Amino acid sequence: MVAIVPSPDLEDIQAELASFLASRRTLVLGTLNEDGRVELSVAPFVPHGDGFAVFLSELAPHTANLGRTQLAQVLLLEDEAQVRQPFARTRVSFDCRAERLDRESAQGRAVLQVMEASFGGIVPLLFSLPDFHLFLLTPGAGRFVAGFGRAFRLEGLRVVEHLGR
């Protein structure tokens, strides 16, 4: 006899995803360089609308890559020190569209105020440097893994399907 495991309630998973995203302060950022190779780095972020706002220096290859392709991949991970089973580590990944935000616009200043509240006095210092650029990363397709047998397909920040059996 085969045991039938009910699919999880997507509303509960949506709440779990929202809680997980709210607990993260950094993301792994993947972009494509001019040679088509993936470049990875870690960037602090703040939520903004239906996406993630990052403030990047021109010294980081990501800034030029995002400006050229407007594409990124984002990965947010459970803290390794809190992981009981590395194979079941909670994580969420997205394909994102990148848009440069004008730092001097009302929207840009609002994002930077949220960043300053989150990350402190370093943000006004970085704002004073002309090589820092603000980007909004808007998620498209994604995947949320919340443990064994708990993988979900995302559209933007919305859970749409359980990928289990």
Q: What is the mean pLDDT of residues 68-81?
A: 96
- Specify the pLDDT at position 164: 72
Confidence class for position 165, pLDDT limits 50, 70, 90: low
Strand 51-57 and strand 71-77: the pairing is: unpaired
For every residue of 108-129, which 3-state class applies, written as one string? HHHHHHHHHHHHCCHHHHHHCC
| Of the candidates 114, 99, 106, 103, the residue with the CA atom closest to the CA atom of residue 25 | 114
Q: Which CATH superfamily is domain 10-162 in?
A: Electron Transport, Fmn-binding Protein; Chain A (2.30.110.10)
Render pLDDT for 83-127 as a digit per residue (tens, 0 to 9).
Answer: 989 999 999 999 999 999 999 999 999 999 999 999 999 999 999
- Specify the pLDDT at position 44: 97
Q: Is 49 exposed, middle or buried (0-12, 13-18, 19+ CB in 10 A)?
A: exposed
| Of the candidates 46, 52, 50, 51, the residue with the CA atom closest to the CA atom of residue 115 | 46
Q: How far apart are CA 144 and CA 25, in angstroms?
A: 17
- Domain parsing of the chain, residue ranges: 10-162
Q: How distant, in Å, are the alpha carbons of 50, 109, 110, 135 from that of 102?
A: 18, 9, 11, 9
Q: Which two tokens stand for residue 71?
A: 């594409």
Render pLDDT for 20-65 as a digit per residue (tens, 0 to 9).
Answer: 999 999 999 999 999 999 999 999 999 999 999 999 999 999 999 9
